[in-house]
Structure 1
Amino acid sequence: MTNIKRASLDDLEKMNREGKLSRNSEPSKGEELGPDFWANARLVEPKEPRSVHLKLDPDVFEFFKSQGKGHLTRMQDVLKAYVRAHDHS
């Protein structure tokens, strides 16, 4: 069984000041990536997003906004799906 304890931020700050919080300065070693991985690896440059002004019908905007926080991301996801479905390159 896992030993889980609750502590407030104040409690954690106090424990930190008193040196009661342990820190592992050595990160755990991850899995070894073999030569096959590196032979097929490629650098992918991140794309800078573009900010645009987009006019939407009110019902379209309200549909996404009514689903809560993240409505702009959901709109972006729908547009990405459309592009993927119509990309014939």
Structure 2
Amino acid sequence: MAEPPRRPRTLNDARTEAEAAFKQVTKKVAEAPPKTTALPGIKQLVSLRIDQEVLEYFQEGGPGWQDRINAALRKAAGR
């Protein structure tokens, strides 16, 4: 005996409506992460490749060469 054809789901099907409602409620909204403002005096450790002659130029002045490089970069960035 042949099985009767299955009834296709319609938009009014309770399960289909429940799934659609669930998806609508649980859909994640893409939010941009909040922008953090730079705090004055906070420094971040980074690795940076610079030319040897540039490094030697700043190190010739003795201690504080990293601060001098930072000052030069701030000036170049217009800050």
Q: Which TM bucket (shorter chain)?
A: 0.3 to 0.5
Larger radius of gyration between Structure 1 and Structure 2: 2
Using the size of structure 2 for normalisation, the TM-score is 0.46
Using the size of structure 1 for normalisation, the TM-score is 0.41
